[in-house]
Structure 1
């Protein structure tokens, strides 16, 4: 099982348990419980002291491997007083965690130590000296940190050349007018043909047990010559490097491991004569020797920068692992998969400037290349087996070789500093773009000034900028804007021996940058400008993709013109407020109700001009565009006496008796539905006579109506019972019971027979004539109460009814 996954699950379970306990404690009234029970107060104080001690130990252990100092927590109030120190330690740990995750996933070569290797790591640190004199001070060619031009290759000769060295040193200028030197072996790498053995399966060459072998340490020119003679006879070699970048601005190549099928070498690359290692180009650039490296993205750069070495014929096992779809692509994973060797990768974090090397460091360095050729044999066979060499799309071998060539073609360039835009490997843009901050112009100006001051100091002292001042301290200074030395020391918990004597100088830099930032550029505007410079094609492609994915309306069959390159008017890449809820709180609903401009709507048929005269006519748009428009008709006042009489009836109904004779209900319905009532229908003229005959036949109608009402009432009750029974069955199936006070015999509310608010007077008069409403005549004049029958409505679901597990509420009509 993956040890990292096991550790992650253990930590997650512990965090969940701790969070739940803290939540439960926060909901309890501890001060009240303390006042009731003195023994509980004593126990709480003891637990508080224990938790503070544990927290202080955790912070001290975390600070031991970071650039901060653990704060003291003697009591609860000290947590708030030293909160900045806690934040600095957490920030430093998060920075290291980000790097460690890249190492673990194989993005970079370095890997973080695993939990079961902590003992070996502590043993290695205990044997190594704490203070090591900088080896670069004794180099014949010390590193140059202030170079501004293009990096000139260090090679003085060019073995196995297809193009002479003189032509390879002719400079060229890029699009920005900067001068560069080409890759000396660019033509040799691009035209290189891998040996046929790379495309064939073969039995892996066995390796000798690591315990029975030892590597040869090369630390003299004579040992270098002997190693070079043996390497020239090999067909494949494995190469690996160890680098140190904590006490040097550009870093130091500290060690190089080389292995053949039968022998291992460890080369000391910190000797003053390290430039003589250029002679290894006789093998490294030899097209007849295949060079196997793992994760060589940075190795190629380090070889060029420090030793002037170039690799022709590279096979990178990292690209092979990605092409084969392995769950991990680290060297430790490959060694464990193919050889069962457990690499103690925590030694990657060791100080490789240590001389002499400890036994653990020496054995670890040998293991990096001792098994690598055997790993290459197995991965090559798997690539060939899973490739179709005749189909370029299914040729995994070809893909790995192409990516390996691209890696070998990298060129080292000096880390230039761009003060205005912060571009480049040493600039502030990369750091600021990864951190969610929203500085005002003054804070932004201070951030740039402090970052530039730290970089200048690191170049002058040949130190790593992170050793002088960690990144989180730069952010803290820009956020708080300290005014004096005391405020600066409260922000920066850890002061390196280089930074401490320069505190006054840093305070001056902050003060000047703060004054210059009052009218300085805004952070969001600057980030927009940089984004448009770096990714103009990306912005265009994104907009084109949005247009391609938008649905095409039937009213707009033609496509709009392609958008131009993004300008400074584009939205800022970050906003002062969160947009997590979309337009819910930003007035999105109001914006959606805005009328659509007619300029943005393309119709299939043209419309006439929408002028005020068109809407002034009663007929709306005219079908005859040539007809002259009529004048607007004005309203003429008509006295009340001269107005036509209005129909006082408030509802529409059908008279049951027509023509002065008694009919059956079905007959009247058939005649009513068959003969429409129009202006020419004579039944309309007979309407008044029928209305008068209603009083004469009231008695017979009442008897028929009473019978029908009883039948209808019986049918309604029967249907209501069936409906209640069906609803009860559904509720029982869904896990609900009947609500309190539910009566299954209660009939459903009949909205059709409910008294109408509009015809309240007529209904009362009709009920009074039929004898159903026997009340005093005096009460007839009272106003109608529309809320009188409000309590007769069916009861809703009670509030105590809750959902059952795995079930949802079901509502039926």
Structure 2
């Protein structure tokens, strides 16, 4: 203990001195001192290189594999200051790992944690988990563990990830075969004939009482991790008539994925099979049950399970019933297994373990129970769904039109007929499950030649690296980073790390390699393929679809040209590709466009000259020519609801104005006019424009009558004002009459009112908001409950 205290004191003093020195240097203006003294600048460069070398050696020592941890990791490279910034996250990870190991060692030294003996530790590492596993307190640390050694490296057949030939089935024998294995063709599913000729037993169409499941708490599952346990399980499975099957798959640290666990349940027992053992391919002996037409196999969402079973274990399903298709046939609101567990077994699935790392060994108890629950209740769920399918089916219709159960069985058989194939990369057209075509088709993006070349090159680089490292492509580089790199086309390490942020571990380690791929693709893309030309070769309608989606996203759909006319006889027209940018404009002439990629940060040193002039079309004499004189003729309006119009004379003989009728002032003026003048304006009600007579005497007479009517209206208004009120039934005074400012009351010096006048005026004023404050008040704001520290009140 004294040695530990002395070591701790010496280490603390050294760390404090180092921290003070680093802080002092950080506060100094080193660039200024470099500019004054060349020798100092050289000395600083030498010390910088020495410190980087020492730091890199220390990181290499810290990340070196040890027999105790069994974890292999790569030390970050610190060649320069840029290397420190680019690999800073990796440096932090190494330091965190050292601190955790130091804490563990200190706990063991002080006795806070007792180290297990080597025999007990080895037993926990390779021992079975018969309903056991690690303690519940270790589940959180186990789920976060990402440094698990890849189990596929210990397989007898290590995945190669570079197979391009036809997938060869892993079968050594073919149980329950009607067609021998030697007669199976290369492109044929080994059990294709057996699945197509299979007929479900009559018991599937029999409605019986569901068989209850055994209580989950009072039963357990058998963990199968030895060959002896596997054969023992096989003997019990052969006695069953229905079995429930499910798989747990891991696809993060494996290129093609890996089946990590298999759950099998009968009416009376559950098994959890460890499929990460080196002898895992010997599990193909389970075809004695899986391919047995007398045993019904119940799975939920078996589309991918069928492929994984063929790829990893050489297992095939004859007599499959997929409860997912039953959910769709019955029209359930949900189609997941968690929905069925809640509906029929009243069990809440622990979704926090759904995305767990199923490679963890020994298997924690929480993961063990979660995996077991997937199949423990599935046979009981099948009984209920089968009865409901029979009840809701109409067996009287021909050709199975009303048979819902028959539809489920047919779709289940089609799922079982799938055949696994190696993922082959198509760099030219991006076809296949790992190609770039689907990614580009799902994402509306318009890329020029250079960007499209970078996109394809980076996508190919990601696939090559993932195959080499045996990691998933998303672990190497996410999809959104590929688009970012293609659009930005960074030239420096800093630009690449900023574009692909947060950078993955693979990108940080192979950044130089990635930048070389980007630069080469950019150079080759100048004369490379056009994105729309390549997509048009694959699917002629896709370029137009992408253009529409991009236009809708940027609200420029109105500026895109209309689709071209389809060709005759179904042939693709030569202009089937929707032009994304026009070379000329009908008004502006040549379009101003630039296809040069823009950097995310900073600006290029070679800035082109920017023209601020706008090219206008040539101005000809026709532009300034007067428009032709309009000719007015009586026109029959096409509107079903005509608008009444009339003619108003403003004193000129050759000009008339059409105005819409309908205002109160015009109606009042029209009532005051003689009947013959009103008849002249009724032509508008017949949907025709009324033309006033050309007689000078007639126009003079109408003008005199209107003037007389206005005088009478003024006389009546003055009489009303003198009486102390307004008569709203009288015509309104013409707005053309000038305002009499002399007789108007003063605004700055209004006449003073007497007290009696004020009292009389205020009596008539009504305040509509006088009683608005008499309503009952609402409750005060209630103090809400807050998480964390509670509140204590003292009297």
1:139 corresponds to 2:155: yes
Distance verdict in 2 for CA 1:586–1:319, change over 3 Å = farther
Q: Note if contact 1:275-1:308 (Cα within 8 Å) is conserved in structure 2.
A: yes
CA–CA separation in structure 1 for the residues paired with 2:429 and 2:136:
41
1:219 corresponds to 2:225: yes
1:363-402 to structure 2, matched below 5 A, reads 363-391=369-397, 392-402=400-410
CA–CA separation in structure 1 for the residues paired with 2:194 and 2:541:
34
1:261-272 to structure 2, matched below 5 A, reads 261-272=267-278
CA–CA separation in structure 2 for the residues paired with 1:262 and 1:490:
57
CA–CA separation in structure 2 for the residues paired with 1:651 and 1:238:
87
User: SS at 1:237's partner residue?
Assistant: strand
Q: Note if contact 1:206-1:374 (Cα within 8 Å) is conserved in structure 2.
A: yes
Corresponding position of 1:436: 444
CA–CA separation in structure 2 for the residues paired with 1:133 and 1:749:
103
**How far 1:496 moved relative to its partner?**
3.1
Q: Between 355-364 and 747-756, report the one with greater CA deviation.
A: 747-756
Q: Note if contact 2:430-2:436 (Cα within 8 Å) is conserved in structure 1.
A: yes
1:524 corresponds to 2:539: no
Corresponding position of 1:511: 519
**How far 1:476 moved relative to its partner?**
0.7
User: SS at 2:261's partner residue?
Assistant: strand
Structure 1: state its 5+ residue gaps.
Answer: 1-84, 86-119, 172-180, 536-559, 578-584, 588-649, 653-719, 728-741, 774-788, 793-813
1:559-599 CA deviation, whole Å, 9 max, x = no partner? x9974143553244x9569xxxxxxx999xxxxxxxxxxxx
1:640-659 to structure 2, matched below 5 A, reads none
**How far 1:150 moved relative to its partner?**
1.1
User: SS at 2:430's partner residue?
Assistant: coil
Corresponding position of 1:88: none
Q: Quote the RMSD (CA, aligned, Å).
A: 3.7
1:161 corresponds to 2:167: no
**How far 1:528 moved relative to its partner?**
1.9
1:226-272 CA deviation, whole Å, 9 max, x = no partner? 00000000000000000000000000100000000000000000000
**How far 1:123 moved relative to its partner?**
7.6
Corresponding position of 2:502: 494
Q: Note if contact 2:441-2:542 (Cα within 8 Å) is conserved in structure 1.
A: no
User: SS at 1:505's partner residue?
Assistant: helix
Q: Note if contact 2:166-2:421 (Cα within 8 Å) is conserved in structure 1.
A: yes
CA–CA separation in structure 2 for the residues paired with 1:331 and 1:477:
39
Corresponding position of 2:283: 277
1:340 corresponds to 2:346: yes
1:79-94 to structure 2, matched below 5 A, reads none
Q: Note if contact 1:468-1:496 (Cα within 8 Å) is conserved in structure 2.
A: yes
Corresponding position of 2:457: 449
**How far 1:770 moved relative to its partner?**
11
CA–CA separation in structure 2 for the residues paired with 1:533 and 1:256:
43
1:657-692 CA deviation, whole Å, 9 max, x = no partner? xxxxxxxxxxxxxxxxxxxxxxxxxxxxxxxxxxxx
**How far 1:147 moved relative to its partner?**
0.6
**How far 1:323 moved relative to its partner?**
0.4
1:197 corresponds to 2:213: no
User: SS at 2:452's partner residue?
Assistant: helix
1:255 aligns with one of 251, 261, 278: 261
Q: Note if contact 1:121-1:346 (Cα within 8 Å) is conserved in structure 2.
A: no
**How far 1:121 moved relative to its partner?**
12
CA–CA separation in structure 2 for the residues paired with 1:463 and 1:763:
100
CA–CA separation in structure 2 for the residues paired with 1:471 and 1:499:
13
CA–CA separation in structure 2 for the residues paired with 1:485 and 1:412:
40
Q: Note if contact 1:304-1:310 (Cα within 8 Å) is conserved in structure 2.
A: yes
Corresponding position of 1:609: none
Corresponding position of 1:569: 575
1:285-434 to structure 2, matched below 5 A, reads 285-391=291-397, 392-434=400-442
Distance verdict in 2 for CA 1:244–1:385, change over 3 Å = same
1:759-805 CA deviation, whole Å, 9 max, x = no partner? 163424667999999xxxxxxxxxxxxxxx9969xxxxxxxxxxxxx
Distance verdict in 2 for CA 1:503–1:130, change over 3 Å = closer
Aligned residues, how many?
Answer: 473
Q: Between 484-493 and 449-458, report the one with greater CA deviation.
A: 484-493
User: SS at 1:375's partner residue?
Assistant: helix
CA–CA separation in structure 1 for the residues paired with 2:428 and 2:277:
39
Distance verdict in 2 for CA 1:756–1:200, change over 3 Å = closer
Distance verdict in 2 for CA 1:450–1:761, change over 3 Å = same
CA–CA separation in structure 2 for the residues paired with 1:368 and 1:345:
12
CA–CA separation in structure 1 for the residues paired with 2:137 and 2:540:
48
Corresponding position of 2:769: none
**How far 1:142 moved relative to its partner?**
1.0
Q: Note if contact 2:178-2:194 (Cα within 8 Å) is conserved in structure 1.
A: yes
1:210 aligns with one of 200, 208, 216: 216
**How far 1:122 moved relative to its partner?**
11
CA–CA separation in structure 1 for the residues paired with 2:382 and 2:341:
11
Corresponding position of 2:616: none
User: SS at 1:241's partner residue?
Assistant: strand
CA–CA separation in structure 2 for the residues paired with 1:749 and 1:156:
111
